Amino acid sequence: MTPRAQVFVAFVTIAMVIFILRLVRRRQLRAKYSFLWITIGFATLLLAALPRTFDRVARDLGVASAPNLFFFVAIAVLLLVIVHFSWELTRLEDRTRMLAEDLALLRVELGEAADRDPNGATAAAAEAEADA
């Protein structure tokens, strides 16, 4: 990697980390998710600062070139993030369904309670007795 490319990658990575921190500060991104992205940012910054080390790791693993290893690792990390978010989404959908069902049951109970008179009889039964 040329020194100019290293500076560019470092600049973009620092900008990304600052952007993530601003999202957390504005409470638009939860801290538990920001940790992942900040870690990825610092790992990218480290790779930009020490490109020869990554070349050596790629060679030791038997990968033809460092960019191939980088893209493989990046795709693997993104797949893990997608699986995690799918799991979170499923969990939240289940929770939303349970809350909607609980709300519906509470509304039914409140509706029945409003129909009762102080003696415990329903308003419809009281009307039927009054008509008779």
> What angle, rounded to 10 degrees, do the helices at 51-61 and 66-115 form?
90
User: Tokens 């893990």 belong to which residue?
Assistant: 80
* 132 or 74, greater pLDDT: 74
Q: What's the pLDDT at 97?
A: 97
Q: What's the pLDDT at 106?
A: 94
On average, the pLDDT of the chain sits at 85
What b-and-e string marks burial along 87-123, b requiring 16 or more CB atoms within 10 Å of the CB? eeeeeeeeeeeeeeeeeeeeeeeeeeeeeeeeeeeee
Tokens coding 30:
């939860």
Band (pLDDT 50/70/90 cuts) for residue 91 is: very high
pTM as predicted? 0.66
